């Protein structure tokens, strides 16, 4: 696992190890590429707030931390409070689906649920497809969330920013073989776009391209595309408009 990260160019200098097995996800994939995942947290359960405290100097320089409650919820809450205190943008993917406190939601810059996770957050079923998505986003904003990207799978995503009109970004049409980690790919692409100063909508287009490529490949980490691959994909799909999306990309 460590070799895989290093081969991808990830800085692993601050990676911690503990006396526990690594987390494992058992994934089944349907004929249409949809997946069901059962997670055994393993070492993820040992990521405590104290470990984050030890890396405070690193976290203060973070460009855009991404978190999800596959680690202890108290650790996510600590990170959210830390990010809020130091004016650091934080993205939260509320997976696995569970109820989250209003205090946590108000400290997150962007929350990126899919439809199942949104239903759990709101304790209600989404009705009437797209219109229901807009209503759900409004309800989440009303709880104090700053910004929402509701991921709709093959139907794209809905962007909801407080006091701004909602925007819909369509997904790219591809032949999906495995949707595992598509949401993670989208989150990463969206954060990259925003960090590079691209508009929210163009960042979502870039993120959609990252996710689209990922679902054409099997697996999670092995399905993640490079920036060069995303750039080529956007050029093929958008032509001249590709230069407007996520500005320049680098490997």
As annotated, the active-site residues are 184
* 134/158 Cα distance (integer angstroms): 7
Both tokens assigned to 178: 């495995």
Between vectors from CA 205 to CA 200 and to CA 209, what angle results, nearest 5°?
Answer: 145
CB 169 within 8 A of CB 206: no
**Straight-line distance from the first to the last Cα atom of the chain, in angstroms, rounded to the nearest whole number:** 21
Length of the chain, please?
251
Give CA 122 to chain center in angstroms: 19
3-class state of residue 124 by DSSP: coil
CA 41 to chain centre: 18
Q: At what angle do helices 182-195 and 200-214 cross, to 10 degrees?
A: 150
Phi and psi based region of residue 244 (left: phi greater than 0; alpha: psi -120 to 50; beta: remaining): alpha
């Amino acid at each position: 696992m460590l070799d895989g990260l290093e081969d991808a160019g990830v800085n692993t200098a601050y990676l911690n190890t503990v006396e526990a097995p690594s987390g494992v996800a058992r994934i089944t994939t349907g004929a249409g590429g949809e997946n069901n995942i059962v997670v055994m947290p393993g070492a993820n359960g040992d990521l405590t707030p104290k470990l984050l405290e030890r890396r405070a100097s690193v976290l203060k320089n973070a460009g855009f931390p991404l978190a999800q409650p596959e680690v202890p919820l108290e650790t996510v809450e600590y990170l959210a409070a830390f990010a809020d205190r130091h004016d650091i943008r934080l993205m939260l993917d509320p997976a696995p689906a569970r109820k989250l406190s209003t205090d946590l939601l108000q400290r997150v810059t962007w929350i990126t649920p899919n439809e199942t996770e949104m239903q759990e957050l709101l304790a209600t079923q989404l009705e009437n497809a797209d219109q229901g998505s807009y209503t759900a986003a409004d309800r989440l904003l009303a709880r104090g969330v700053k910004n929402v990207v509701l991921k709709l799978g093959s139907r794209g995503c809905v962007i909801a920013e407080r006091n701004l009109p909602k925007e819909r970004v369509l997904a790219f049409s591809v032949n999906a073989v495995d949707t595992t980690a598509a949401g993670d790919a989208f989150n990463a692409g969206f954060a990259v776009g925003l960090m590079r100063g691209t508009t929210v909508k163009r960042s979502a287009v870039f993120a959609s391209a990252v996710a689209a490529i990922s679902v054409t490949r099997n697996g999670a980490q092995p399905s993640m595309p490079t920036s060069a691959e995303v750039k080529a994909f956007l050029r093929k799909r958008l032509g001249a408009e590709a230069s407007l999306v996520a500005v320049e990309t680098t490997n």
